[in-house]
Structure 1
Amino acid sequence: MPAAPSTLSDRLTTLVKGPQFIWWLGHVTMLICTAFYLPYWATFNYKAGAHWYTRAFFGALISYSVVVYKSFPDIQFTAQFAQTLFSEENVQYLLMAIFWWRSTPMLAPLVPYAIFAFFNSLNYTRTNILPAIFPAPPAGTTDATYNKVAAISRQIQVWTEKNHAAAMAFVAYVEVVGVMGSLIFGAITFQSSFLSPIVYANFLRFRYFFSLHTRAAFALIRARLDNLIVPPGGNPKVPPMVAQAYTMARGAITRFGMAAVQQPAATANARQ
């Protein structure tokens, strides 16, 4: 490997010229703007904070556009390419980011993107930014500052590896319950489009096929609702008509979810 630039200015110049730095800036933008949107959401002042919501998803658009561009640098106008493109989860999240960017502000859609942004920006900081600012000292020498930074870097790595799976499981649960619940409530109360739950249902259908965490979230929700509603184990206070309606709705959702989603020939890239 070529030797790293010797000066801080050279190292930072090399860092910011790469597309991954733009990807990182998009994630940081998402995190900062989400943080600024939270007080507006907490005080039910959604419209006043809409600009922070829009900017947050603009950051997501930047990040996911970089990932998709790197994954598909050569566009092909073929059915097979289109199938592979739209089956790739980063493309799905990019399309949903465009949808959310132009939608009525809600907190729930921000949560999954903010969690992805947190883990990705933290890892990039550990693997790229810290080494650029605090490079390893020459062989045979020691540097107290570098040793401290290296220890912090290891702590970040251990923490992210330990908590990543739990965070992704939480994201899946938020996507299934929080986001869809918010969309259905918004449609019923005329605060958002009736088409929004339909669009998002198709997104969840893809996630069900390609994400173990999403399948686990659906299984958990179904088990809890079955235990609560469906006899003989369900709550006896639940009217039979409600149990029957739930069973019919569960069947319809299952049939919709099991509609053919053809997986791409190649394994999809990991979400970034």
Structure 2
Amino acid sequence: MPPATAPPSSVGERLKALVKGPQFVWWLGHITLIFCSLMYLTYWITFRSAAGAHWYSRAFFGALVSYAVVVYKSFPQVQFTAQFAQTVFAEENVQYLLMAIFWWRSTPMLAPLIPYAIFAFFNSLNYIRTNILPAIYPPAPAGQSSPANAQITNVSRRIQAWTEKNHAPAMALVAYVEVIGVMGSLILGAITFQSSFLSPIVYANFLRFRYFFSIHTRTAFAVIRARLDNLITPAGQPSKHHPYIVQGYTALRGAITRFGMAAVQQPANRAQ
């Protein structure tokens, strides 16, 4: 049996080993996405979003890199079968990769960047905690802890505690942004001829997928429907709105429900 390879002993060797892995490329994609999103935000809040369009494209290029790495690692062996194709297209990361391609070539908008940036922020923090910090300050052997090791351990624990505490609220925020912010921006853009009329249709299919696989998206839809129902057709009270508005809302709600409940099959062995 060949002897085990000794782990890198110096910081330089550990960092060199770190940057050679595909996960480092994945992290760089997230960092690119976060940085470029912040740059685009500075243009957007100063009403110069058109001038910052290149930052928008670069941000989604970073997203493409990150999600491409994940998809490649999830499906290293391509199979030309219907079952494999169904499994691939039902994978969450594949859906976000396809949407990143769509956004990359679409008219720049702030809303689509927000969910990707939130995902990237949490993923980047976890990578720093689990990979970068141990590469710089590896855990000390038992009984040989130093002040630097203790400080890094404390930082790591703080990052973990913060991400665990804020992950669920952040995912809930993502769901609301996707349902209200992104779809609202697409509909407004289609009405004002600033984006394609096909964009809301494409995104509606993505939201249908998210509804079936994300509890946060289902919760967002339920809350939004309850509030609209209470506003348009309050229970036990006559509606204050014109009958045409009530009928239109009821018909639209029914159409959305039927569209959302169309068959979306989840493969039995979905990649994690």
After TM superposition, the score normalised by the length of structure 2 is 0.96
1:124-170 Cα deviation digits (max 9, x unpaired): 00000000011122332121011111101000000101111111111
Q: 1:257 aligns with which of 223, 246, 260?
A: 260
SS of the aligned residue for 2:79 comes to: coil
Structure 1 CA distance, aligned partners of 2:124 and 2:237?
44
1:232 to partner: Cα distance: 4.1
8 Å CA contact 2:91–2:271 kept in 1: the answer is yes
SS of the aligned residue for 1:26 comes to: helix
Structure 1 CA distance, aligned partners of 2:105 and 2:5?
45
Cα-Cα RMSD: 1.3
5+ long unaligned stretches in structure 1: none
Equivalent position amino acid for 1:140 in 2: G
Equivalent position amino acid for 2:246 in 1: A
8 Å CA contact 2:87–2:270 kept in 1: the answer is no
Q: 1:57 aligns with which of 40, 55, 60?
A: 60
Equivalent position amino acid for 1:16 in 2: V
Superposed, which structure 2 residues align to 1:178-217 within 5 Å? 178-217=181-220
1:63 to partner: Cα distance: 0.3
8 Å CA contact 1:64–1:91 kept in 2: the answer is yes
Equivalent position amino acid for 1:182 in 2: S
Q: Give the direction of change, closer, same or farther, for the CA distance of 1:190–1:135 in structure 2 (3 Å limit).
A: same
After TM superposition, the score normalised by the length of structure 1 is 0.96
8 Å CA contact 2:74–2:271 kept in 1: the answer is no
Matched, 1:77 2:80: yes
1:82 to partner: Cα distance: 0.4
Structure 2 CA distance, aligned partners of 1:87 and 1:232?
38
8 Å CA contact 1:228–1:235 kept in 2: the answer is no
Superposed, which structure 2 residues align to 1:106-145 within 5 Å? 106-145=109-148
- In the other structure, the counterpart of 1:36 is 39
1:184 to partner: Cα distance: 0.2
8 Å CA contact 1:226–1:234 kept in 2: the answer is no
- In the other structure, the counterpart of 1:25 is 28
8 Å CA contact 1:8–1:132 kept in 2: the answer is yes
1:4-44 Cα deviation digits (max 9, x unpaired): 31111110011001110000000000000001001111122
SS of the aligned residue for 1:136 comes to: coil
Structure 1 CA distance, aligned partners of 2:235 and 2:188?
30
Q: 1:246 aligns with which of 245, 249, 263?
A: 249
Q: Give the direction of change, closer, same or farther, for the CA distance of 1:153–1:234 in structure 2 (3 Å limit).
A: farther
8 Å CA contact 2:176–2:220 kept in 1: the answer is yes
Q: Give the direction of change, closer, same or farther, for the CA distance of 1:201–1:143 in structure 2 (3 Å limit).
A: same
Structure 1 CA distance, aligned partners of 2:219 and 2:37?
27
5+ long unaligned stretches in structure 2: none
1:57-105 Cα deviation digits (max 9, x unpaired): 0000000000000000000110000000000010000000000000000
Matched, 1:8 2:11: yes
Q: 2:149 aligns with which of 146, 153, 163?
A: 146
Equivalent position amino acid for 1:215 in 2: R
Matched, 1:47 2:47: no
Identity %: 74
Structure 2 CA distance, aligned partners of 1:238 and 1:110?
36
Q: Give the direction of change, closer, same or farther, for the CA distance of 1:234–1:162 in structure 2 (3 Å limit).
A: farther
Greater Cα shift, 134-143 or 6-15: 134-143
Q: 2:269 aligns with which of 238, 258, 266?
A: 266
SS of the aligned residue for 1:260 comes to: coil
